[in-house]
Structure 1
Amino acid sequence: MDHVETFKKGALISQNPASATSLLDFSEEEKEAIGREHTHKWSQPWQLYFLASMCSLAAAVQGMDETVNNGAQAIYFDKDVPTQHHFQNIQGLVVGAPYLACAIIGCWLTEPLNRLFVRRGTIFTSCVIAAVASVWEGVANTWVNLFIARFFLGLGIGSKSSTVPVYAAECSPVPIRGALVMMWQMWTAFGIMLGNIMGVAFMSLDRDISWRLMLGSTVVPPLVVCAQVYFCPESPRWLIQHGKIQKAYANFRILRTTDIQAARDLYYAYVGVEPERKINEGKNLFTMFIELFTIPRNRRATLASWIVMLMQQSCGVNSLPRYWRPWERAFSIGSLPYQPSSRLIRRDLLLFTFPFLAITLLWTGFSFWIEEGNETSKKRVAMVTKGMYLFEVFYSPGEGPVPFAYSAGCFPLQVRDVTMSWATATTWCFNFILSFTWPNLVDSFKPQGAFGWYAAWCIIGWFLVLLLVPETKCLTLEELDQVFSVSTRKHASYQVKYALRHLRVWIFRQKLEPLPEFYQSVERLAEVADKASKAGKEEERGA
């Protein structure tokens, strides 16, 4: 009640942003702040950018944890694990241990950890786990001990990868929310680069100490995040969910330029949280998970989400750094470009990029047929480098950022709490499968066959996306319900006709009439349903 007038203005702006300022006595400062949201959208309080930097560093921690192991495992296994029948399996198991832990435990800890420790506490806990695991890895004396340390590391990676993007989204203003959330992907790639740099930096030291320093070097970034996170405000949305309205408003005032913007965003968040809280009343995590598969609309969204997450790993992206060891070839793929494409997130991007991913993987694999020699080795390095670079160019706007954004947006409110856990568990599960099988795959089929295997999966992914993954960009919840209520058979049939029409128009240059729109608007759908209902009643009367 201390801010009644401010909340009146905030509510008016949320209901009618275009003309609200003419309805009440808004100050010139308030009018200017509201207008600058569109003309100077990056003009935000420094506390918001401090929060964004913390989230970015947390992403870099994850990327570094993923790739710093590449050089260490090569040195460690070459020296300390004797060649034996199960050598490749042991190597793959140790490399993939964090991803196994993420898939079966870490990602599913997200909901209880957030309930106990809130968003900041979960980020702090996950980074403490990462720091402890880094030291543990560095002092491990057997491969079993190293496996346990890396498995423990995965418990932190899973909850962090699910919580940080949600925390960033809940704290960011609408005009730049997408860009700040997509920073997760870019800074994960930055961490991947740091991990490769650590491999190069310590490779010239004694073998007994070099791999330990590589693994132990990852202790620094998570400690910085732990120190930084508690200078950030808590998620206002979480506070609203738990009835702490005063604290939520205080935190919004930190993250917004003026009090009226804080009041408006509090109103928005409250209106969004209340229906969600009523829908989920009495439900637990297991109940919401079951609803992903028992309700047809959710089941189709679950299948589509599973496909894009499956292909994020099955396209072979993580096979590149694990095979091409920079400390052996004096080349670091950590410098490959990764540009988040928040404006281009759509199904069409996947359909466009998958063929190029297949081509570049074949390019990379076939380059290993160039014979080794003083001159030919340089040619091989050049060809493989180009293939890997071009792969990342097409991966970056497609299978890199799309799966997380798609999974977060295709489900209804009542199961939204478990969708991020489902999505991250899926991608980490297949990351583990790739890590575990890659050494045997290269040993059995050579680099040519191994890269060719993932090229084939890119082609399979193209057909899966075409037939089973609907478009979700810029659709409301009601429109998404309509999209995922269409049977899979009807959707696949239409998409085949659509693809064949494009082939005939753009390749064979035929002039064809456009196909009728597959999805109608929600309003038009309601009219059709109403007419059908009336017609049915008239038929019943006639009978």
Structure 2
Amino acid sequence: MFGLTTDPVRRIRNPLAHLTNEQVIKDVEDFSRSSGLEEYTPMLVKGALIAKDPPAFETVPGLSEDEMEAIRNEVLHKWRQPRSLYFTIILCSIGAAVQGWDQTGSNGANLSFPDALGIPITNTLADGSPNPNASRNQWYQGLVNAGPYIASALLGCWCSDPLNKYFGRRGTIFASAVFCFLSPIGSACAQTWEQLLVTRLLLGIGMGCKGSTVPIFSAENAPASIRGGLVMCWQMWTAFGIFLGTCANLAVKDTGAISWRLQFGSAFIPAVPLLVGIYFCPESPRWYIKKGRYSKAFRSLRRLRNTELQAARDLYYIFAQLRMEAALVQKNTNYATRFIQLFTIPRVRRATLASFTVMIAQQMCGINIIAFYSSTVFEQAGASITNSLLASWGFGLVNFVFAWPAIWTIDTFGRRSLLLFTFPNMAWTLLAAGLCYLIPSSSSAHLGLVALFIYLFAAFYSPGEGPVPFTYSAEVFPLSHREVGMSWAVATCLFWAAVLSITFPRMLAAMTPTGAFGFYAGLNLCAFVMIFLWLPETKQRTLEELDYIFAIPTRTFMKHQVGTVLPWWIKTYIFRRKIGPCPALWSFDGHVDNDKDFVETVRRQSLAVAGGRRRSSIADKIANRF
């Protein structure tokens, strides 16, 4: 089933590869008649024949030179994509800036809103008398900060499945943008901490729907070869939102009693372009295919691909893959049944485990103890309010700048490799930051070293655990369970973000910064082991091809990691032995993005077209990757 053989290396085959050209043509003709695309039958036939045997694309009859050049450019110039694709991905990812901006808005507001709303959290009051309610108020502060994440985990994420079912990806994103636009304004107008909590709970509904839908929407629209780089725009804009939030905190710090209101309220700004622009984007073609609306799916793909031929090829290839997927998972089930199937269908259960691992790891790494409370952390290191906000601004800048490399590395080194590299480095930098609190506060090195190691921590986080979780979780579920699966993944992430937000003020008081940072440094190492054992690589595979990867039992994958990958790594990088590449657990046969023969064909064709000069160096680099 699913093209998986019984060989030690699981060979995953193109679902069209075993068919003759005559069988493919007949199948395409039947498909075009049943889907109302008869006028595009010749184009669909050409696209299907290319998908059947990518290395032999030049032998497909009827291809023009422009069409062959477009196929070559999928390897030679993979970032040469239509403006409509980039507009869609970037616009929708702007919504992530709401989440980042809100994190740093509440971060700066933590220095003043508790006193303004009558819940002082310091151990002594302004008149010097002991504060008998300090411990209780610390929990209240944590609850207010955690409000959006509580609502997201318990309600917002789970609303995305029915909203996607009835209104599509764009309709769901629009509804979430309404909440993200109005709720921060309500936070700025709150008169009590209870009112502030309610407005932040409403913000969480929008954040949950948006966080569960936008990465799916981006992943379904993007070509496989650059999907990671495009879907990680979500994290880029989250990081940019964090940076803009720290800028806003500094801009309004001297506005007196209303500074915290402006810090909370300014988070509405990124929702404005999302509200205005979402319906200028094409709907997800895979959502249309799921609904049986093939003509609309083809119309969307024509806007998202460079040529009509590529749109026809992708439409039929997705259809063929989903036809095989139907043998693995049940469709047309209700919401409750689909949720239960996250844990009962083996292929879906493995995706559920992988998404749970990568999402909870984002909270275990400790990034949000900085994102939510960096101003408080720096204040405890002896900084003034202004210097705390400046240091937090530095954290936001580092987080944003170091997210950029992942655009290129996430689809070359891969999701898994980035995580395995960054987690050990996050562990030691976080531990070092905590130990720096043991330096006497009178020393000039105290604050500087704390800031240095927190910035190094952010620099390792941003290209690894920053972009990977939402990108990875949006990819791993089959189309039939993608919405509820992503809801599960985002709810996992935001629930534990809420737990972190609620507990950290009290943890900071009870364990001191050194103990709290050391605790999260240890969790980084736990997350490293979980990722090593449970996370398959997904780079440069179509969403449907991932069905084959997750058809491999978890026990088999773990056995391969411990028995093959770990010994190979030790021999190669510790004992420095040249033993060749690591044996793979699976291989793909006959896909357009990574097939070696296809790459060689492109190389030869590009040399011929360019007279053997202009593109030889680019083609050689591509060929050497394989």
| 2:119 aligned counterpart, secondary structure | coil
Unaligned runs of 5+ in 2: 1-37, 121-132, 376-384, 590-626
Find the partner of 1:247 among 277, 296, 306: 296
- 2:198 is the counterpart of 1:132: no
Report whether the alignment pairs 1:441 with 2:507.
yes
Using the TM superposition, name which of 132-141 and 255-264 deviates more: 255-264
SS of alignment partner, residue 69 of structure 1: helix
Q: Does 1:460 align with 2:526?
A: yes
- Cα deviation, residue 123, structure 1: 0.8
Greater relative contact order (CA < 8 Å, ≥ 6 in sequence):
2
Would the alpha carbon gap of residues 335 and 494 (structure 1) be closer, same or farther in structure 2, given more than 3 Å must change? closer
Partner SS for 1:430: helix
Match of 2:224 in 1: 174
The answer for the alignment partner of 1:540 in structure 2 is none
Instruction: Name the counterpart of 2:92.
Output: 55
Give the Å deviation of 1:403: 2.9
Question: Are the aligned partners of 2:363 and 2:496 in contact in 1 as well (CA < 8 Å)?
Answer: yes
1:410 Cα deviation from its structure 2 partner: 4.6
C-alpha separation in 2, matches of 1:46 and 1:520: 35
- Could you tell me which of 213, 218, 233 is aligned with 2:267? 218
Instruction: Select the residue among 129, 150, 172 that pairs with 1:100.
Output: 150
Q: Is the 8 A contact 1:241 1:277 kept in 2?
A: no
CA contact (8 A) 1:498 1:515 kept: no
Tell me which amino acid in the other structure corresponds to 1:56: S
Q: Kindly state the Cα deviation for residue 178 of structure 1 after the two structures are TM-superposed.
A: 2.5
Question: For residue 528 of structure 1, what is the aligned residue in structure 2?
Answer: none
Letter in 2 for 1:335: L
Alignment match, 1:12: 49
Sequence identity percentage:
42
User: Quick check: 1:261 aligned with 2:306?
Assistant: no
CA gap 1:293/1:30 in 2 versus in 1, 3 angstroms: closer
Q: Which residue of 2 aligns with 1:194?
A: 244
**What's 2:549 paired with?**
480
Q: For residue 309 of structure 1, what is the aligned residue in structure 2?
A: 359
Superposition pairs for residues 314-329 of structure 1, below 5 Å? 314-325=364-375, 327-329=386-388
Residue pairs, 1:355-504, within 5 angstroms: 355-373=424-442, 376-377=443-444, 379-411=445-477, 415-469=481-535, 476-477=545-546, 479-481=548-550, 483-486=552-555, 491=558, 495=562, 499=566
How far 1:67 moved relative to its partner?
A: 2.0
Contact 1:311/1:458 (<8 A) preserved: yes
CA displacement 1:320-373 (0-9 Å, x = unmatched) = 133321745222111012232412334444333322212111111122223334
Q: Deviations over 1:252-305 (max 9, x none)?
A: 222223222222222223333445567433412222222232345654553343
Query: Aligned residue for 1:353?
Result: 422
Aligned to 1:294: 344
One-letter identity of the residue aligned with 1:356: N
- Identify the match of residue 26 of structure 1 among 38, 60, 63: 63
Instruction: Tell me, yes or no, if structure 1 residue 41 matches structure 2 residue 78.
Output: yes
8 Å contact from structure 2 (residues 534, 554) kept in 1: no
- Partner AA of 1:444 in structure 2: A
1:338 aligns with 2:407: no
CA distance in structure 1 between the partners assigned to 2:561 and 2:227 by the alignment = 34
The residue type paired with residue 523 of structure 2 is W
CA distance in 2, matches of 1:113, 1:94: 27
Return the alpha-carbon distance in structure 2 between the equivalents of residues 48 and 510 of structure 1: 44
The one-letter code sitting in structure 1 at the alignment partner of 2:431 is L
Secondary structure of 1:353's aligned partner: helix
How far is 1:463 from its partner? 3.2
Measure, in 2, the Cα distance between the counterparts of 1:439 and 1:21: 63
Q: 1:245 to 1:515 in 2, by over 3 A?
A: closer
For the residue of structure 2 that corresponds to 1:483, the secondary structure is: coil
Q: What residue is the counterpart of 2:125 in the other structure?
A: none
CA distance in 2, matches of 1:7, 1:522: 24
Question: Could you tell me which amino acid in structure 2 is paired with residue 19 of structure 1?
Answer: A
Give the secondary-structure state (helix, strand or coil) at the position aligned to 1:44: coil
Alignment check: 8 A CA contact 2:231 2:471 kept = no
Cα distance in 2 for partners of 1:494, 1:35 equals 35
2 CA distance for matches of 1:510 and 1:359? 24
In structure 2, give the amino acid aligned to 1:7: L
Q: Which amino acid aligns with 1:486?
A: R
1:50-79 Cα shifts (integer Å, max 9, x gaps): 212202312222221222211123211133
Cα distance, 1:515–1:8 mapped onto 2, change above 3 Å: closer
The TM-score with structure 2 as length reference comes to 0.75
The whole-number CA distance in structure 1 between the counterparts of 2:39 and 2:549 is 40
Q: Give secondary structure in 2 for the equivalent of 1:147.
A: helix
Contact 1:13 1:20 in 2 (8 A): yes
Deviates more, 1:479-488 or 1:192-201: 479-488
SS state of the match for residue 515, structure 2? helix
Q: What is the aligned counterpart of 2:110 among 73, 76, 99? A: 73
AA aligned to 2:218 is A
Distance 1:284 1:275, change over 3 A: farther
Contact 2:213 2:483 in 1 (8 A): no
Moved more, 395-404 or 385-394: 395-404
Contact 1:470 1:483 (8 Å CA) reproduced: no
The 8 Å contact of residues 228 and 471 in structure 2, kept in 1 or not, is answered as no
8 Å contact kept, 1:65–1:218:
yes
Question: Are 1:164 and 2:183 matched, yes or no?
Answer: no
User: Which residue identity does 1:34 align to in structure 2?
Assistant: I
CA RMSD of aligned residues (A): 3.0
Paired residue for 1:281, among 331, 337, 340?
A: 331
Provide the C-alpha distance between the structure 2 equivalents of 1:29 and 1:500, rounded to a whole number of angstroms: 48
- Higher deviation after alignment, 409-418 or 101-110: 409-418
Cα distance between partner residues in 1 of 2:198 and 2:224: 42
Q: Is the 8 A contact 2:432 2:453 kept in 1?
A: yes
Larger helix fraction of residues: 1
**Distance across 2 between alignment mates of 1:76 and 1:205:** 13
Q: Under a length normalisation based on structure 1, what TM-score does the superposition of the two structures give?
A: 0.86
In structure 2, what is the Cα distance between the partners aligned to 1:510 and 1:441?
43
